[in-house]
Chain A
Amino acid sequence: MRAFFDSDLWWSFTRSRITVASAIVAFICIGGAFMAPLLAPHDPFDLASLQLMDAFTPPIWTAEGNPTYPLGTDDQGRDVLSAIMYGARVSLFVGFAATIFATCVGVLVGLLAGYLGGTADALLMRIADIQLTFPSILVALLVDGIVRAALPREVHDQIALFVVVFAIGISEWPKFARTVRGSTLVERNKEYVLAARVIGLSKAKIMLQHVLPNVLGPVLVIGTLNLALAILAEATLSFLGVGVPPTQPSLGTLIRIGNDFLFSGEWWITIFPGVALIVMVLSVNLLGDWLRDALNPKLR
């Protein structure tokens, strides 16, 4: 622990006020989302607790506000604040899961391509190139559409969350693969790798035990930035109505539903989930930016 607080990383962290602020905001967002069942004032999934007559209550600071609903209610009398907390949970789950999935695939492919070289390298990198030519949202839409067509509705609703994770993850892995391959090409000719090869270690062992730890720095940076992108991608898919199932509304779903009431003056139903999404993505993104600068020796 002491070593961590003495490190350059911690020093550069405390030096940047924006970074500290965004870390606090991100912590609040993530903490609030994961503790939603404990912290949220209402349970938006408990149909029996909804009061239709409380529908369209504006936020607390307006004249008709009701202290029970700090950010107002939607068309069914659901508390907007609670809905955001539960929605952020879904968004963050999808974001983290998709990033971890993309990282695993990307790192593995990058290591193999970089270390083995030759035909394997050419083949894997061409696949990554092809994948990179498609916008990631298109890939995600494609995967979602195929699964939707192939599986009956009931089954699809059950696994929809994992389909979204897969769809976003699969569209993001080439970035990881490209970076890891680049680093691996540098590392593979270094002396410690040659030494490991000379004493007869297997390829798998060299890749995972010796090369991998030394290429993870950039992966951490891309991973953090990618988390923000994955959350946005999920919100986009859900906004288009092809993402998470309606029974598990994410922030994107909330924005889409609230959109119907934008013209009629009930702005809080869509604006607050939107603000929550922006704050969350921005704070994660700023952290990622800082991490990139902190780990870049040229900027020191």
Chain B
Amino acid sequence: MRIRLFAALAALCLSAVAAEARTVRWSASGDPNTMDPHSQNVGTVTMVLQQIYDPLIQRSRTLGLAPGLAVSWEQVEPTRWRFRLREGVRFHEGQTFTAEDVVFSIDRAKQPTSNFGIYVDTIESAVAVDPMTVDVITRVPDPILPNKIASVFMMSRSWSEANGATRPQNTRQREEIHTTRNTNGTGAFRLANREPDVRTVLARHADWWGWREEGTGNVTEIVFRPISSDATRIAALLSGEVDFVLDPPLQDLQRLRSAQGVSVLEGPEVRTIFLGMDQFRPELLYSDVRGRNPLSDLRVRRALYQAIDIQAIQRVTMRGQSMPTGTLFPEQVNGYAREEDVRLPFDAARARALLAEAGYPNGFEITLDCPNNRYINDEQICQAIAGMWSRVGVRTRLNAMPLGPFFAKIQREDTSIYLFGWGVPTLDALYSFQSLLASRAGGQQGDGIWNYGGYSNARMDALISRMRTETGDARQAAIREALNIFREDVPLIPLHHQMIPWAMRSNISIPHMANNQPYFRWAVVN
């Protein structure tokens, strides 16, 4: 009898353990190149850090705004936003979360080495009113501040000071500081083990404030493993070695949809793929043209644009999983105008004529820099474009590399022309214009922070500052005009908006997000 009791007890314990451990083994092609929350404003980094760190305001399942570490916020004066903080929140290493940490985190995001300046550019200062209240004072009235704050992660002041990480890691200089490999957030998961490029293990933070809320999931552990080879990543999913693939290769979707035990979630992403061009140097770094910069000539930019057969790329390279575009952001973003979403038509003969007109009848040579594990089929897109340009006489050398060295390279402006993708976490046009097209010199923090082509247009700058302060119809009109300039001036060559299929074992359910972020706090493993 006693033995049977023990056996029953043991079985009970075992089943309890089995029910408790809900591990999601997750894979994607690229690995985050840092764990510092303010150093790289890059989706690949955010997809891991958003599991660990919380912002004041978080994104809901429909990408709306929802209380995060702040329970409420209001614009008490035109230039003053007041945030009431959540009580009883602790960091993973035990520190209590207070207004001091908010002030510190916002200041940290404003540092010169930060890549998140775009989100805090209008902020004059953050002031702790009392331990549970913070006032954010802006230089100008900023109507979309909450949308921006929703992307700024909160760190512990005492932890950062104790570990010498009071400013973000400088990735441009390949610096390594404590936060490159260590984290201390308030989020749903804590970093249990980090081996760059090999394995990142996150464990459920049982004391997370949000677990009490409705609709949260049951994941206890996340094991992230980057697998850069498409075939290997899919083989791992099909064989049950991984449970969730963020970026399944497009060519395998057909097979995945019909595979047993695997499901595919599909939807559009708020991300636009384009080509950036060096337009500020008197001479290109990687070209055979001497003494002048062909890309600063609008005719050459249009020629390169019109040489691209986007329909072929959409049909063959993307297998239908993209939306070709002629504008800067997709329709989910405030300010989108369908009339401005018109591409220059594909016309190789016109492209050749434009090149001849600009003084390059025999074309020229150029190197296209391209990531090979950041965007969907990025290298293949670049190869296709290199072929199309070569056909109109622009002999293109392709330089494809992993995202780590790629970002470091373009952030040093060590490029002539590059493939890039831009997501809009704030879902507002200003974010794209300000980061990608504002002049950097003399501008505010965040202006032109990803404008590596050095595009500069006074009219565009004026419109951007109007977007920053004006509201209502006047603001929409400014966006509209800026979109028109974008179309006329071709500062970037737009390609398409991405579609993002996610593939997973059928026992996992997780809301599909248009910002391509898997929020494992909402994932359920059956």
Contacts and interface: CB of A to CB of B under 8 A. Distances in A.
B249 A53 contact: no
Contacts of A146: none
Contacts, number: 60
A276 interface: no
Contact of A52 (B235, B249, B317): B317
Contacts of A259: 229, 231
B380 A76 contact: yes
A120 B384 CA distance: 58
Interface stretch (B44-52, B89-97, B251-259, B296-304): B251-259
B405 to A, nearest CB: 8
B277 interface: no
Given A246-B400, A264-B255, A75 B387 contact: no
B252 A52 contact: no
Interface residues of A, number: 20
B251 A47 contact: no
A48 B316 contact: no
A261 B251 contact: yes
A75 B238 CA distance: 23
Interface string B470-492: 00000000000000000000000
B387 A76 contact: yes
A286 to B, nearest CB: 32
Interface string B368-405: 00000000000010011011101100011000100000
A56 interface: yes
Interface in A206-265: 246, 259-265
B390 to A, nearest CB: 4
Contact of A263 (B252, B315, B395): B252
B251 A264 contact: yes
A288 to B, nearest CB: 33
Contacts of A266: 251
Contact of B312 (A48, A53, A263): A53
B283 interface: no
Contacts of B317: 52, 55, 75
Given A76-B380, A259-B231, A52 B387 contact: yes
A48 B380 contact: no
B234 interface: yes
A261 B252 CA distance: 8
Interface string A133-156: 000000000000000000000000
A212 B312 CA distance: 62
Contacts of A261: 231, 251
A53 B395 CA distance: 20
B288 to A, nearest CB: 16
Tell me the interface secondary structure of chain A in the complex: loop
Contacts of B252: 263-264
Contacts of A52: 309, 312-313, 316-317, 384, 387-388
B230 interface: yes
A76 B384 contact: yes
B371 to A, nearest CB: 14
B387 A262 contact: no
Contacts of A294: none
Interface in A253-291: 259-266
A124 interface: no
Nearest to B383: A76
A50 B387 contact: yes
Contacts of A262: 231
Interface string A62-89: 0000000000000111000000000000
B320 to A, nearest CB: 13
A131 B259 CA distance: 47
A260 B390 contact: no
Contacts of A53: 312, 315-316
A263 B391 contact: no
Contacts of A260: 229-231, 249, 251
Interface in B302-356: 309, 312-313, 315-317
A236 to B, nearest CB: 15
Contact of B390 (A47, A55, A246): A47
A259 to B, nearest CB: 5
Contacts of B238: 263
B234 A263 contact: yes
A259 B234 CA distance: 12
Interface in B467-520: none
Contacts of A77: 316, 387
Contact of B316 (A47, A56, A246): A56
Interface in A28-75: 46-48, 50, 52-53, 55-56, 75
Of A48, A50, A55, A262, most B-chain CB atoms within 10 Å: A48
A75 B380 contact: yes
Nearest to A266: B251
Nearest to A256: B229
Nearest to A259: B231
Contacts of B229: 259-260
Contacts of A47: 386-387, 390-391, 395-396
B133 to A, nearest CB: 52
Nearest to A50: B387
A263 B255 contact: yes
Interface in B231-274: 231, 234-235, 238, 249, 251-252, 254-255
Contacts of B396: 47
Interface in A80-137: none
A11 to B, nearest CB: 49
Contacts of A264: 249, 251-252, 254-255
Contacts of A246: 400
Contacts of B400: 246
A55 B251 contact: no
Interface string B451-471: 000000000000000000000
B170 to A, nearest CB: 21
B241 to A, nearest CB: 15
Contacts of B231: 259-263
Contacts of B316: 52-53, 55-56, 75, 77
Nearest to A260: B230
A73 to B, nearest CB: 10
For the complex of A and B, 3 pairs with smallest distance between CB atoms: A47-B390, A264-B251, A48-B390
16 contacts: A47-B390, A47-B391, A52-B388, A53-B312, A53-B316, A75-B251, A75-B316, A76-B387, A77-B387, A260-B230, A260-B249, A262-B231, A263-B235, A263-B238, A264-B251, A266-B251
Interface of B: 229-231, 234-235, 238, 249, 251-252, 254-255, 309, 312-313, 315-317, 380, 383-384, 386-388, 390-391, 395-396, 400
Interface of A: 46-48, 50, 52-53, 55-56, 75-77, 246, 259-266
Given A53-B312, A263-B234, 16 more contacts: A47-B386, A47-B390, A47-B395, A48-B390, A52-B388, A55-B316, A55-B317, A259-B231, A260-B230, A260-B231, A260-B249, A261-B231, A261-B251, A263-B255, A264-B254, A266-B251
